Amino acid sequence: MQTVVKINNLVKRYGDLVALDHFNLEIMEGEIFGLLGPNGSGKSTTIHCLLSLLEYDKGDIKVFGEEMKPDSYHLKKDIGIIMQNVAVFDRLTVEENIDYFCGLYIKDKKKKKELVQEAIDFVELNDFKKFYPKKLSGGLLRRLNIACGIAHKPKLIILDEPTVAVDPQSRNNILEGIKRLNKEGATIIYTTHYMEEVEQICTRIAIMDKGKSIAVGTKEELKSMVKTGETIQVDVPKLMENQLEQISKLPHTKKLSYENEVLHVQYTKGKHNLIRLLDYFREQDIAFGRVTSELPTLNDVFLEITGKELRDQ
């Protein structure tokens, strides 16, 4: 695979604030690459520097193997960008908006018309072609924003928090659309602070905090970096203090809590934790109800590495 984006030792300061602190990143062709981190971690600044929309203090940025500069229009024509804030023209219809943005890159009228219709089909806005943006819901506006950014068939698509403030159905439509774009050949950069979205669609992930890349890999690789294992939850009507103490001494138990007749047990890595816990209940003749087991999440990775929740500001 070819390297599509390579960022080396990037530093960006706003006065005394260091927004990017010797940040490194490499994205390969065909990836859906997630930039995951809380608000203020440097995700959007990274994107703005990558596009040469911001000057930076130090470092190198290459796109498609070439240095990215403000006037690198031959590179930028193969990039589609969908920012967090919807950027469309209120006085143009859905179709006119997409036609305008596509026309910035495609001059052949016949080809442009075909691409505009393909984009409308892709985001499923055929029923809204003649609508003006103010008549669209938030979810439909996001889909229009995406259509404007991808109509010219870019090789690299950057989506910066595209699902903020949209309803669950629109969010699912957007995520499914991103996966389809990737299958059609586009390399995707996806920034978000919603860990569940990254787990759902991204092939590789960089976790950012305070302008640094603190961990990079597939979700499986990231989860293997930490000691946190599965978390088991059991509905138990009554547990005595001595029983809780005995459970805490079972192998691989990291910590437990018991509130409102629900037992939570978090484990370090280890096998057969659930079997061992249920065997203890049977041996002690302890009645229990619903049992659930959850594997570690990216938030567990972030929490263990940084000491705070992923969504902390």
Look up the domain containing 38 and give its range. Answer: 3-224
Same domain, yes or no: 115 and 190: yes
- How many helices and strands (H and E) does the chain possess? 11, 14
Which run of H or of E encompasses 237?
none
pLDDT digits (tens, 9 = 90+) for 258-295: 999 999 999 988 889 999 999 999 999 999 999 999 88
pLDDT digits (tens, 9 = 90+) for 76-111: 999 999 988 889 999 999 999 999 999 999 999 999
Strand boundaries in 29-70, DSSP class E: 32-36, 58-63, 66-67
Using a 10 angstrom Cβ sphere, with 0-12 exposed, 13-18 middle and 19 or more buried, the burial of residue 66 is: exposed
pLDDT digits (tens, 9 = 90+) for 168-201: 888 888 899 999 999 999 999 999 888 888 989 9
Query: Can you give the pLDDT at residue 313?
Result: 44
Residue with tokens 């608000």: 39
> In this structure, is residue 115 part of a structural domain?
yes
Residues 6+ apart with CB under 8 A from 287: 236, 237
CATH number at residue 15: 3.40.50.300
Residue with tokens 């910590």: 255
Same domain, yes or no: 57 and 192: yes
> In this structure, is residue 300 part of a structural domain?
no
Decide if 226 contacts 304 (C-beta within 8 A).
yes
Give the integer Cα–Cα distance in Å for 188 and 178: 8
Same domain, yes or no: 69 and 172: yes
Same domain, yes or no: 204 and 244: no
Does residue 243 carry a pLDDT above 80?
Answer: yes
* Residue at which a domain ends, from 177, 196, 224: 224
> In this structure, is residue 301 part of a structural domain?
no
Give the integer Cα–Cα distance in Å for 2 and 68: 16
Residues 6+ apart with CB under 8 A from 107: none
